[in-house]
Structure 1
Amino acid sequence: MDHVQQWLQALNIDAIQCIVLILGVSEVLLARANNVWLYPTGIAATTLSIYSLFHAKLYAECLLHLYYIVMSIYGWWFWTTRRNNKPVEITFSTQRDWLITIGIVLGGWVVLYFFLILFTPSELPLWDSWVSCTAWAGMWLLARRKVENWLLLNISNAFAIPLLFHKELPLFAFLTLFLFIVACKGYYDWMKTAKKNMAIA
């Protein structure tokens, strides 16, 4: 047992990271199974993540995770009140959707960057703000059931993985890598569904 603790300490892995990894993987599996328990599981994982991210001085990531909590609470409520209603169909993004997405990314990047350099002791404000604003854009497209949400989320994931390793949060990085792989599969599945919807229309 002492050897395991020494190994975890050498890798800068604490109990919170281990719990977040377990909860994060569980959330994805519950989502795939279409189980409502994905929401409380996700809220618990996200809340614990904020604690670790704050101590790593990734303040934009903390704001992003607060947003995830709000969206999870909304999703939990929406699921339980409108579960039997017909869902919004999966479609490809329009030109207007892309303009709004680019606006969220660029506008969010600038606002977050200046917020971080002016009001926080952030060590990597440019990188931290980029990861968050691309995820915000991806979440907006996800809410609108657009195929390209997976692309934006994976841009965020791709930059988040080395950032998390750099900030000595290896289990968070591995969890993000897992989410990256899931998002690749999600993009492929949603693209097939969108093409099928277009053919029917």
Structure 2
Amino acid sequence: MEVIKAIEAWWSGQSWLELIGFATGLLCVLLAALNIIWNWPFAIISTGIYIFIFATHRLYADMGQYVYLFISNIYGWYYWSMRPKDEKSIPVKLISRKQIWWSALAVAVLSPTLGFLLTKLAPVLHYAPAAFPYLDSFCTVCSLIAQLLLARKILENWLIWIFVDLIYIGVYAMKDLRLTAVLFAVYTGLAIFGYLDWRKTYRKQQQPGV
């Protein structure tokens, strides 16, 4: 009984907005892992909600990230819909050497730059100091890269998501966003599933006559 009461008390303390963000976010990642185009509209709803949530919890880099994700989800929906007429979906591709170098350069340059700006601009704009500015910025830049690779159907996007999601679990737990931390734990499992499933799809694409 005590366990049930504890669960009921925890549930009653959750924000309905966060619950909707949780549900739509979970569904969009699941559909993406299954290579289903309808992940994008759910992703648009979820990112829109989390823009507001992160703003109210002073995770400013995350807020900016989700503005980008909101826009990139619209792009991803468009790109995935542009499949060849004789194909069921856009084919899965491997990351190129050029994309690896550009991604590494973006992380090396943008992460410390964004972290520095967050620490300096918040007082000027009369905002409360950003929480975990450099770690938050690093995860933000990695997520931006992963989202672009996801929209372009690059297999390795899932490996980046696994890495980032594990970090985010700790960040959100420390900010008392427990439901969101649970969501990112589930995201980690779905990203592992997505990688394995997309890798299987890619290997099938390489087989003659398939």
- CA–CA distance in 2 between the matches of 1:193 and 1:29? 16
The partner residue of 2:146 within 109, 121, 138 is 138
- CA–CA distance in 2 between the matches of 1:109 and 1:46? 21
Distance 1:74 1:190, change over 3 A: same
Distance 1:79 1:199, change over 3 A: closer
Aligned to 1:22: 23
Aligned to 1:176: 184
Contact 1:151 1:187 in 2 (8 A): yes
Deviations 1:98-130 (A, max 9, x none): 111211222221221122111122021011111
1:101 corresponds to 2:109: no
- Output the amino acid matched with 1:114: F
Q: Secondary structure at the match of 1:93?
A: coil
1:50 corresponds to 2:51: yes
Distance 1:76 1:88, change over 3 A: closer
The partner residue of 2:157 within 127, 149, 153 is 149
- CA–CA distance in 2 between the matches of 1:117 and 1:93? 33
- CA–CA distance in 2 between the matches of 1:76 and 1:191? 21
Deviations 1:133-188 (A, max 9, x none): 11112123223322211111111111111101111111111111111111101111
- Normalising to structure 1: TM-score of the pair? 0.83
- Aligned residues: CA RMSD: 2.7
Measured after TM superposition, the shift of residue 193 of structure 1 is 2.9
- CA–CA distance in 1 between the matches of 2:204 and 2:84? 22
Aligned to 1:165: 173
- Output the amino acid matched with 2:10: W
Q: Percent identity?
A: 26
- CA–CA distance in 2 between the matches of 1:33 and 1:189? 9
- Output the amino acid matched with 2:190: V
Aligned to 1:195: 203
Aligned to 1:117: 119
Aligned to 1:7: 10
Contact 2:80 2:90 in 1 (8 A): no
- CA–CA distance in 2 between the matches of 1:144 and 1:4? 40
Q: Which runs of 5+ in 2 are unaligned?
A: 123-128
Contact 2:80 2:151 in 1 (8 A): no
Q: Which moved more, 1:136-145 or 1:50-59?
A: 136-145
Distance 1:43 1:94, change over 3 A: closer
Structure 1 runs, 4 residues or longer, greater than 6 Å off: 2-5
Q: Which moved more, 1:26-35 or 1:135-144?
A: 26-35
- CA–CA distance in 1 between the matches of 2:112 and 2:48? 26
Alignment size in residue pairs: 196
- CA–CA distance in 2 between the matches of 1:89 and 1:99? 23
Aligned to 2:126: none
Aligned to 1:73: 74
